Structure 1
Amino acid sequence: MTTTAPYRPRPRAGRDGFAHLLHAEWTKFRTVRGWVTTMVIAALVTVLLGLLAAAGSHASCSEGPVEVACPAVPVGPGGEAVEDQFYFAHRSLTGNGDITARLTSMTGIITYPPPDHDKIVPGLVPWAKAGVIVKDGTRQGSAYAAMMVTGSHGVRMQHNFTEDTAGRPGGVSAASPRWLRLTRSGDTLTGYESADGTRWTKVGTAHLAGLPATVQIGLFVASPGDLTVKRADLGGSIEQMRFTQATAVFDNVGLRGDVPGGAWSRDAVGVTGTTDWERYHRPNGVLESGGTFTVTGAGDLAPRMDGQTVERTLTGALTGLILVIVVAVMFVTGEYRRGMIRTTLLAGPRRGRTLAAKALVIGAVTFVAALAATTVTVTAGKRILRSNGNYILPVSPLTELRVVVGVAALFGVAAVLALALGAVFRRGVAAIVTAVVVIVVPSILATVSVLPEGAARWLLRLTPAAGFAIQQSVPEYPQVTGHYVPQAGYYPLAPWAGLAVLCAYAALALVLAVVLLRRRDA
């Protein structure tokens, strides 16, 4: 007599087997009401806290005792908000041509600098600018290219507010003048510099698409504010921006091309008022005598850095992320607590694949929930901010999409990291505390002015909190003096590099969890 062994189902292999594991883990997640409810609450908290913060932010400008709407902010050719304020002595140029000038002196003043706040001192801020420029009219935000000497950064060629090319270092004096030349050929502007007016060195080239046939060409001077940062007694920092002014002396000014004769036009581009210093001591303007031009100006041609950013609407993300961490940890530790992990591993004896299925499910669910939350929050939050008079620094559609999708990805990857820690610790409280400490706490410490700025930057380079860099929408500009610190929303790593650090931590934790899961009893 022959006997037949009883039939025992074998786990499916390949794609079908993994798909079966995914379906089982998804079914497990959606049938536990507490997990689903907490995930929904996490999304709602992200939305509600973000919208409440937007509703509480108001801005207005004043004309004497009267509050009025703030004036429109100029926008550059690339769609970014810009500072476009300088003194301009100019002529019109039709077609191709160039301007050449020798700069023999550049001086300036800084008002009320520390530590003596009761006096005005001579000096140039690092990005004070004087030189030659071709600009599409005098409208703020219009396209331009300029060759210039700066206060501390040598010769530069800049165009369209965001682009900057370095020339030779050093300053300018009567004994060591700087010759500058800017040549137009169609939409192409080329900048040159020389020490003697004979031997010229090319500095850079700018292509200004759509430049009209007739442009304004001439001499300009600008001097941005002097930024000082003081550490507050109770933590954080105090920023102060003070008025500055620069004066440059030009001679050997030459124009070639179709330039009508007559006097030079003179415009204080973008200037809306004057300080007491300008009113009573040295007003912005130009003095012309015997072919020598003495031009005095203030302001800047650069990206504008003050204003609300789109990521400011996501202030509720940290609270929502904590709830996500709780769900992700419980998704694995709940099975240990109830003894269900044995059943799970019997259904999927290849433990690494089982944990991978769990990670994929929790990551995908979290990403979808967070994506819905960030989309609603950013869209509605921007409208609320604008209705309250706030100016939001414009960014490209791709940048805004990166913020919305990137923060959702941050949530998803953080959930995978939390799940892996849950598998490592097997205890909910220990895993939740660890996840919050390594993901959330560094972000809070780095952005609420508790730590010195250097320490804050290192935290956001080396910990999983580096992932929050994905939400930075406005970049740092080397040619703009600013307080580029985490407290102001600037991260030490690029957005995708920061998210990559978080992904690396999640991957390492998941590998460790798989190794321990294979070695330990269920």
Structure 2
Amino acid sequence: MTSTVTRHRPSPKAGRYGFLQVLHAEWTKFRTALGWVIGMMVAALMVVLFAVLAGVSSNQKGSSPVPIGPGGGPVTDSFYFVHQPLAGNGSISVSVSALKSSIPKGPGDLRPGIVPWAKAGLIIKQSTRQGSPYAAIMATGSHGVRMQDNYVNDTAGLPDPVSTASVRWLRLDRSGDTITGHASADGTHWTKVGTTRVSGLGPTAQVGLFVASPAAVGGGGTAGSVSTATFGDLRIQGGLAGSTWTGGQVGAESPSFAGYPESTSGSFTESNGRFTVTGAGDMAPAVRDSLPTGAHLREILTGTFAALIAVIVVGALFITAEYRNKMIHLTLAASPRRSRVLVAKAIVLWAVTFVAGSVGAICATPLGERLARRNGVYIFPVSSLTELRVALGTAALLATASVLALSVGAIFRHSAGAVTTVIVAIVLPYILIAIPFIPAGVSKGLATVTPVAAFAVQQTLVPYDHVASNYTPYYGYYPLAPWAGFAVLAGYALVSLAVATVLLNRRDA
């Protein structure tokens, strides 16, 4: 008689249960190791503690209030305004034959320069109150003719800067709340630039000439500039409620106004129908480096840096401690499929770190914001959904960094080497982008290709094409979108985990 021996094959269900056993074993190891649990608690507390310190350390009490635009966001609303009240509908036109800017190169050293977004033109504005609605058409330093309204909207018109050989004629027409802007190269043939609806102008609005000169950007910093424009051929149709032109600086005390360079000031003169107007400031959304009394969520969550070090150490020790104590032999004997062990460790570590990070960030954000506001700091507004995205993104950043440390620990089998490597890969680039005067290209490069790109999950500020500024990670502007920045760190972690898995299967324990 011939007997047949049937080899037993574990069912898929049994295989899955085997992995669950490994997962439970790794969770048991983690929760029974007091040092690792304390490490995660410290990470969460660091996020909260630094948020408290950020809230109480910046005292802006007594500062001028930040202007708020029609859309509810902070704005810069400072410029020199030569105006009269216009009752009801009407039209105003003017020619701009010169726009020259000066930039300080040192104390008392004012030199001619180019301020790309220097502005000279016509404006219809509800009032001289900062943040009030408006529409304007203007010639700019380097961006041709533009029509802008309510600080955030910008429409391009005729190209090329103005000069005596390239005069630009500008016109604004009001019909109720509708403002239409036109531009011309000869004062006869007009091209429509744009039409916008400006709610809240009221029956009588302020209309006239303006000059604005934003701070010049360079070398990682800014310097207040001043610009002078020459106007002619001023014509008005409609009911002027005044009889004389009044000139003055709007927003002279605004915290977002960089001020005039030394020995300069705003002014206007009129002679034979020609106006010469000198002004400084800008009409635009406020950005971080133009608002010294402001802060954003990333600055509240500076404790992420300290928490990052804590989770890196715990992540590395979660695997290297077993090599040091020779426990790795028992672990691998209990689970012959070695890759399961590393995957189970990664899942447990990621989940625990994510929970700790979420608790820390969710508690830290409202607490830090409340304390900062009490001290007069203006917090750039975000929606509740964005705030939650930042908190959970911060937790995911910490969790993924801990898995990266785990993977490197499995590769090196030594905690000191693993911790040092991951800190150099993440913390060192973070320190470098935190230096305000590091070249923008270097800063953006580090925030694009290194794991520190994941800090983009904390980004809440929006760059504007019509506002020149230092859009660098130092000020909270990352080159990658939040999800893309996180994907960079996740890529490093997954590749490291794959390498660690291959080495774990090939090497002796």
Q: Where on the TM-score scale, by shorter chain, does this alignment land: which range? A: 0.7 to 0.9
SS of 2:105's equivalent in the other structure is coil
In the TM superposition, what is the alpha-carbon distance from 1:461 to its structure 2 partner? 1.9
In the TM superposition, what is the alpha-carbon distance from 1:36 to its structure 2 partner? 0.8
SS of 1:139's equivalent in the other structure is coil
In structure 2, how many angstroms separate the alpha carbons of the residues matched to 1:451 and 1:119? 25
Cα distance change, pair 359–257 in 1 and its aligned pair in 2 (3 A): farther
In the TM superposition, what is the alpha-carbon distance from 1:441 to its structure 2 partner? 1.5
In the TM superposition, what is the alpha-carbon distance from 1:130 to its structure 2 partner? 0.6
Aligned to 2:359: 372
Aligned to 1:296: 278
Q: Which residue, 320, 340, 346 being the options, matches 2:307?
A: 320
> Alpha carbon RMSD of aligned pairs, Å?
3.8
In structure 1, how many angstroms separate the alpha carbons of the residues matched to 2:105 and 2:207? 38
Q: Which residue, 63, 72, 84 being the options, matches 2:65?
A: 72
In the TM superposition, what is the alpha-carbon distance from 1:275 to its structure 2 partner? 12
Matched, 1:105 2:95: no
In the TM superposition, what is the alpha-carbon distance from 1:178 to its structure 2 partner? 0.6
Contact 1:79 1:396 (8 Å CA) reproduced:
no
Of stretches 430-439 and 90-99 in structure 1, the one that deviates more from structure 2 is 90-99
Matched, 1:220 2:205: no
**Which TM-score applies when normalising by structure 1?**
0.82
Cα distance change, pair 36–77 in 1 and its aligned pair in 2 (3 A): same
Aligned to 2:252: 271
Q: Which residue, 136, 144, 150 being the options, matches 1:146?
A: 136
Cα distance change, pair 322–272 in 1 and its aligned pair in 2 (3 A): closer
Of stretches 244-253 and 31-40 in structure 1, the one that deviates more from structure 2 is 244-253
Aligned to 2:416: 429
Matched, 1:159 2:153: no
Of stretches 339-348 and 43-52 in structure 1, the one that deviates more from structure 2 is 339-348
Q: 1:271-300: per-residue Cα shift (whole Å, max 9, x none)? A: 349999999x87634444554443332221
Of stretches 497-506 and 483-492 in structure 1, the one that deviates more from structure 2 is 483-492
Matched, 1:444 2:431: yes
Identity of aligned residues (%): 51
Q: 1:22-49: per-residue Cα shift (whole Å, max 9, x none)? A: 4443333222222111110122223224
Matched, 1:181 2:171: yes
Aligned to 1:35: 36
Aligned to 2:223: 241
Cα distance change, pair 245–439 in 1 and its aligned pair in 2 (3 A): closer
In structure 1, how many angstroms separate the alpha carbons of the residues matched to 2:331 and 2:415? 18
In structure 1, how many angstroms separate the alpha carbons of the residues matched to 2:167 and 2:226? 20
In the TM superposition, what is the alpha-carbon distance from 1:411 to its structure 2 partner? 0.7
Q: Would you say how many aligned residue pairs link Structure 1 and Structure 2?
A: 501
Cα distance change, pair 423–123 in 1 and its aligned pair in 2 (3 A): closer
In the TM superposition, what is the alpha-carbon distance from 1:318 to its structure 2 partner? 1.6
SS of 1:515's equivalent in the other structure is helix
SS of 1:362's equivalent in the other structure is helix
SS of 2:135's equivalent in the other structure is strand
Aligned to 1:192: 182
Contact 1:11 1:347 (8 Å CA) reproduced:
no
SS of 1:79's equivalent in the other structure is coil
Of stretches 434-443 and 378-387 in structure 1, the one that deviates more from structure 2 is 378-387
Contact 1:127 1:481 (8 Å CA) reproduced:
yes
In the TM superposition, what is the alpha-carbon distance from 1:456 to its structure 2 partner? 3.4
Aligned to 1:233: none
SS of 2:230's equivalent in the other structure is strand
Contact 2:119 2:213 (8 Å CA) reproduced:
yes
In the TM superposition, what is the alpha-carbon distance from 1:414 to its structure 2 partner? 0.8
AA matched with 2:488 = V
The answer for unaligned runs of 5 or more in structure 1 is 61-68, 230-236
Cα distance change, pair 293–450 in 1 and its aligned pair in 2 (3 A): closer
AA matched with 2:291 = D
Aligned to 1:26: 27
In structure 2, how many angstroms separate the alpha carbons of the residues matched to 1:134 and 1:256? 13
Aligned to 1:63: none
Matched, 1:456 2:457: no
In the TM superposition, what is the alpha-carbon distance from 1:437 to its structure 2 partner? 1.4
In structure 2, how many angstroms separate the alpha carbons of the residues matched to 1:414 and 1:240? 35
Cα distance change, pair 420–272 in 1 and its aligned pair in 2 (3 A): closer
AA matched with 1:321 = L
AA matched with 1:84 = D
In structure 1, how many angstroms separate the alpha carbons of the residues matched to 2:26 and 2:177? 60
Contact 2:122 2:136 (8 Å CA) reproduced:
yes
AA matched with 2:266 = N
Contact 1:140 1:269 (8 Å CA) reproduced:
yes
In the TM superposition, what is the alpha-carbon distance from 1:301 to its structure 2 partner? 0.9
Q: Which residue, 496, 506, 509 being the options, matches 2:496?
A: 509
In structure 1, how many angstroms separate the alpha carbons of the residues matched to 2:15 and 2:237? 75
Q: Which residue, 95, 99, 114 being the options, matches 2:105?
A: 114
In structure 2, how many angstroms separate the alpha carbons of the residues matched to 1:154 and 1:500? 39
Aligned to 1:45: 46
In the TM superposition, what is the alpha-carbon distance from 1:468 to its structure 2 partner? 1.9
Contact 2:215 2:258 (8 Å CA) reproduced:
no
Contact 2:226 2:260 (8 Å CA) reproduced:
no
In the TM superposition, what is the alpha-carbon distance from 1:314 to its structure 2 partner? 2.5
Give 1:473-512 correspondences, 5 Å limit: 473-512=460-499
In structure 2, how many angstroms separate the alpha carbons of the residues matched to 1:322 and 1:447? 16
Contact 1:329 1:422 (8 Å CA) reproduced:
yes
Cα distance change, pair 313–275 in 1 and its aligned pair in 2 (3 A): closer
SS of 1:360's equivalent in the other structure is helix
In structure 1, how many angstroms separate the alpha carbons of the residues matched to 2:97 and 2:173? 21
In structure 2, how many angstroms separate the alpha carbons of the residues matched to 1:454 and 1:283? 35
Q: Which residue, 389, 397, 402 being the options, matches 1:410?
A: 397
In the TM superposition, what is the alpha-carbon distance from 1:119 to its structure 2 partner? 4.3
SS of 2:351's equivalent in the other structure is helix
Q: 1:244-273: per-residue Cα shift (whole Å, max 9, x none)? A: 433323333344566657445555322349
